[in-house]
Structure 1
Amino acid sequence: MTRLVFICGHAGTGKTTLAKKLIGPLMDASASPFCLLDKDTLYGSYSAAVMGVLTGNPNDRDSPLFLQHLRDAEYRGLLDTARDNLELGVSALVVGPLSREVRERRLFDRAWLGVGANVALQVVWVYTSEEVAHRRIVDRGNPNDAYKLAHWDEYRQRRFVPSGEICEDLLMFDNTAPTHADYEALLARIVGEPEL
């Protein structure tokens, strides 16, 4: 059985760091090869080139222009790449904000994802407080965050923590100051309780 695991959450929550920490233990625990598909790694340079041509600002990843014309294409390519790996028998650990898709529960919609019942599916929502996320974004000094930081009040309106029905089957992970036990518990939930 292959696995499709999403690591989702807003900027500064530590999604990529968490995914890199989990992938080795996840391969060991599931006895399955995994590929790590991070949206920023796969599409960062491409989107920078496009936004540089369109706006003169290659670091723009949050303007209305980017959100309207490139966001969904990046995510579709990310999912297509995951699906190609799954068809080859390689499980996929997919990293990206995917906040709209979580809110609309698309990541649990197998028809929308294009995956069958033979793929174990898990969605992890990584979160931390807005203050911690903001500090991490400032501290990492990534030029891609410049638009977000310059328009923080606008960006923060898109931030949310899933609640109610959105949380059904969603694995919530507080990444503020996780312990080894927290990582182990998340790993056990990912490997032991796939949504089929």
Structure 2
Amino acid sequence: MVCKLTPSAPRLILFAGHAGTGKSTLAKKALPLIIEKTGEDFFFLDKDTVYGAFSSHVMQLTTQNPNDRDSPFYLENLRDWEYQGLIDVARENLLLGVNVILVGPFSKELQSGKMFNAQELGVPLQTSIQIAWIDLEEIEAKQRMIKRADPRDEWKLAHWGQYAQRRTEPPSHPALHRFNNLSFNESAFKKLISDLVK
């Protein structure tokens, strides 16, 4: 797909939230609405798509568990490099004037404030950064993870107490817009889209 360049002020829109909240599903649902509302094209970048096969191979080689995405070994040796790679790809597109929709938990990066700071990200200073934080209460998120039966959730489900401690609240920021995904609300979703492209 050839993207129309937006040299004046590229957009970075992040769909973030904890596992099982529906980030990817909502981002894909939002994409055509965002394109329609802005008249602009977007590069769609999902962490699971970009690093799924790569991380499975690395974890198989190192821990013999290709589905491990949460153990202390993964968090110490692979996690931050995946996220840095995603940010690097997003940066390259934004520097070329291409809008980006980025999907992933990004809880650590949001807590640090990095994702709100164009200068720290190394993207054009005029980049419009807007973040959709997808909320879902812990019990419901766990039930959805059980239902979807993704092998990459096995460590989380087997060590839920440890994992739940990492389900931190995002910081308050004018660029962060929260969306409760317990039961889909069309009007709330339309407002989210409007907030993301304002």
Instruction: Give the TM bin, normalised by the shorter chain.
Output: over 0.9
> Paired residue for 2:51?
43
> Paired residue for 1:121?
129
How many Å separate the matches in 2 of 1:116 and 1:35?
16
Measured after TM superposition, the shift of residue 32 of structure 1 is 1.2
1:132 corresponds to which of 135, 140, 154: 140
- TM-score, normalising length from structure 2? 0.92
The farther-off stretch of 115-124 and 45-54 is 115-124
> Paired residue for 1:85?
93
- TM-score, normalising length from structure 1? 0.93
The alignment status of 1:13 with 2:21, answered yes or no, reads yes
How many Å separate the matches in 2 of 1:180 and 1:167?
24
- SS at structure 1 position matched to 2:94: helix
The alignment status of 1:176 with 2:182, answered yes or no, reads yes
2:172 corresponds to which of 167, 173, 187: 167
The residue identity in structure 1 corresponding to 2:185 is: T
The farther-off stretch of 172-181 and 128-137 is 172-181
Superimposed CA distance per residue, residues 72-95 of structure 1 (whole angstroms, 9 cap, x where no aligned partner):
110011011111222232210100
2:153 corresponds to which of 140, 145, 169: 145
> Paired residue for 2:65?
57
Contact 1:32 1:90 survives alignment (8 Å):
no
Number of aligned residue pairs:
189
> Paired residue for 1:108?
116
How many Å separate the matches in 2 of 1:120 and 1:168?
14
Amino-acid identity (%): 43
The residue identity in structure 2 corresponding to 1:190 is: L
Measured after TM superposition, the shift of residue 132 of structure 1 is 0.7
2:193 corresponds to which of 179, 187, 191: 187
> Paired residue for 2:3?
none
Measured after TM superposition, the shift of residue 160 of structure 1 is 2.1
Which 4+ stretches in 1 moved above 6 angstroms?
none
Measured after TM superposition, the shift of residue 33 of structure 1 is 0.7
Contact 1:7 1:93 survives alignment (8 Å):
yes
- SS at structure 1 position matched to 2:197: helix
Unaligned runs of 5+ in 1: none
- SS at structure 2 position matched to 1:167: coil
How many Å separate the matches in 1 of 2:120 and 2:131?
15
C-alpha RMSD of the superposition: 1.0
Measured after TM superposition, the shift of residue 102 of structure 1 is 1.3
